[in-house]
A and B are shown apart, each in its own frame.
Chain A
Amino acid sequence: MGWWEERTGLGAWRQSLAARLSRPLPARALGISLSAVAMFFILVQMATGGLLAVYYVPSWKEGHDSVFRIVTEIPFGWLIRSVHVWAAHLLVAVAILHMIRGFARASYEKPREATWLAGVALLMILLTAAFTGQVLPLDQEGVNGAEVAAAFSDIFKLGPIVRGGEAVGTNTVGRVFAVHAVFVPLSLILLVAAHIALVARHRLKGAEHVEGTSPTYLRAAGMSLLFAMALLAFLAIVFPPGVGPRGDFSSGDNVKPLWVFLPMYQALKIVPGGMGVLVLTLPVALLIGIPFITRRRTAVGLATAAFVIAVALGVWGALS
């Protein structure tokens, strides 16, 4: 201990971290532990994603085959991919819950606007990760996703840059892979660091001056984490996802996107083209604008309306 301590100072750092984490929290520590669960899923994604990258081939020709091989041939490849897929679903869900909770407790109010904005940026990165991750297997959903992304970028005359040429192909897959496996994790690390540093700076809302020792964050977070692990293990082992047949350009009109994109999918069916893209920027603008709406009732009204519309569109999209 002495040798390492002298050189790294890890023990002192650990003590200060433990003291920081054991600070008294507002009454509902379980809700706050959503952030720890989200962090856990992010780490799971990085670990399993790294393992998947060992065998994934980012190529239009071989991409689908390589995923097929991971899922059917590589020992425990099915498990690694299953954990990656299920943790992705859970991560997006937990991030949304975490955000709803932050909004409900008005945690975005002065002086925590930057914390909220970092959170919004994190959500955008997670959605990017989910979208690009769905493209990579190049099954029908993947090919459709790539086409939709390319069609959107056409509206801003950026189609050739996204496709990496005239048509969706290997260059597109390379771009999607680079975003999914390099830019997304890098952005996550930076944004999570910023998000946590900001929380540490301002302390959690309502706990700035709280005295006492119970309940501690470590215990609530520990229980939540164990529950998240158990849920992930159960889903990943019992319901491993397979790979659909290779996608093509002609036959994919009825393929639906990931559940989190269903509201957008339905919105674009109602308002197609450039107008639709404009409509899609509204919820993002609202999320960014929330900390700057001074009247709480206005913020609650707008956010509730947006949420109800999104859920309604999502359900409509799922059923149509």
Chain B
Amino acid sequence: MSVLLLVMALLAQEKAESDDVCIRCHQDQAVETANSVHAKGNIGCTACHGTDEIENGKHMKVQWFRPSRLKSIASDCGICHLSVTQAFEPSLHANFAARDDGEKNHRTSCSACHGYHDVVPARRFEILKRCRQCHEEPSEEYTQGREAFRGLAQLEQDLARLGGRLTALDGRPGIMTRDTSALFQAGTGSMADLKVAQHGADFGRVISAATASSESATGAYNTLAIREREFGRRTLYLVPVLGLIALMGAVLWFRGRTTA
């Protein structure tokens, strides 16, 4: 009899390690997360909230479990996005978020731009809308931020253009690509770094670095175009070569005729 009771108790107790268990009660959140990048990447509830034991529909809080609070979101995100939260940490935005003083304008943690359960990659225009909630449009902060996003978008575009050209030219004869490939690699690395660094809201640095990388990528693209154009002119070599051969042929032909 006691064995049977124990089995029943074990059955009643569930372990929330999969989303199925969570969704039974938290259906709204399930709907919110459905289209998030986390859902697409198969990252479920427990990745952020931890696991817990549930008994009769109640959290027992015996395992590693956390209902995320605004104050601590950055550190929750940092479990996976460590470099981003490290860049975010020294910013004024992080400072406000950590205080969590109830002021709506101070809710400036990760979720402010990326959403809460509906986590999305922040798009330029959506972020700018968020920025305008606190920063007036012609203000210094707003303009700097906008320019930084513009610079990054421009860099992305320039790198894509350069990368496309490099792929098309890969293995083609007569056009050196090693130096421009190296510039492309450096640009891609710098792009990745800047995407992280922009979370620190040090937009002056982001703008200057993005502009420099953009210029370098554009320069590399132009260099390739010049090399392609120059290599295209190689058929001009045919003029002296074929001319000389024709001359020799003429000499051979007429001398042969006179001696025959």
Contacts and interface: CB of A to CB of B under 8 A. Distances in A.
Interface of A: 68-69, 71-73, 78, 81-82, 213-216, 219, 222-223, 226, 229-230, 233-234, 237-238, 240-245
A136 to B, nearest CB: 15
Tier of interface size on chain B: 20 to 34
Given A219-B252, A226-B252, A242 B172 contact: yes
Tell me which of B173, B248, B252 has the highest count of chain A C-beta atoms within 10 A of its own C-beta.
B173
B252 A229 contact: no
B249 A238 contact: no
Contacts of B245: 226, 229-230, 233
Interface stretch (B29-37, B143-151, B234-242): B234-242
Given A82-B173, A245-B170, A223 B253 contact: yes
Interface stretch (B81-89, B94-102, B175-183, B184-192): B175-183
A72 B241 contact: no
Contact of B178 (A72, A214, A229): A72
Given A72-B176, A82-B173, A226 B248 contact: yes
Contacts of B237: 237
Contacts of A78: 173-174
A28 to B, nearest CB: 16
A78 B173 CA distance: 6
B241 A223 contact: no
Contacts of A234: 238, 242
B171 interface: yes
B171 A68 contact: yes
13 contacts: A69-B178, A72-B173, A72-B175, A73-B176, A81-B173, A213-B260, A222-B248, A222-B252, A226-B245, A230-B242, A233-B238, A240-B234, A241-B173
Contacts of A222: 248, 252, 256
Interface string B71-82: 000000000000
Contacts of A69: 178
A226 B250 CA distance: 10
Interface string B223-260: 00000000000110110011001101100110010001
A230 B174 CA distance: 21
Contacts of A237: 234-235, 237-238, 241
A234 B260 CA distance: 31
Contacts of A245: 170-171
Contact of A223 (B170, B171, B172, B252): B252
Contacts of A241: 173
A144 B238 CA distance: 35
B35 to A, nearest CB: 36
Nearest to B169: A72
A143 to B, nearest CB: 15
Interface in B108-160: none
Interface in B18-75: none
Contacts of A71: 171, 173-174
Contacts of A240: 173-174, 234
Nearest to A244: B171
B232 to A, nearest CB: 11
A286 B97 CA distance: 88
A292 B177 CA distance: 57
Contact of B238 (A215, A223, A238): A238
Nearest to A233: B241
A72 B242 contact: no
The 6 lowest CB-CB distance pairs between A and B, nearest first, are A78-B173, A240-B173, A78-B174, A219-B256, A243-B171, A242-B171
A214 B235 CA distance: 38
A290 to B, nearest CB: 35
Tell me which of A72, A82, A223, A240 has the highest count of chain B C-beta atoms within 10 A of its own C-beta.
A72
Contacts of A81: 173
A234 B175 CA distance: 19
A238 B235 contact: yes
B173 A233 contact: no
Given A73-B176, A230-B242, A233-B242, 13 more contacts: A72-B172, A72-B178, A73-B178, A82-B173, A213-B260, A216-B260, A222-B252, A223-B253, A226-B249, A230-B246, A233-B238, A234-B242, A237-B235
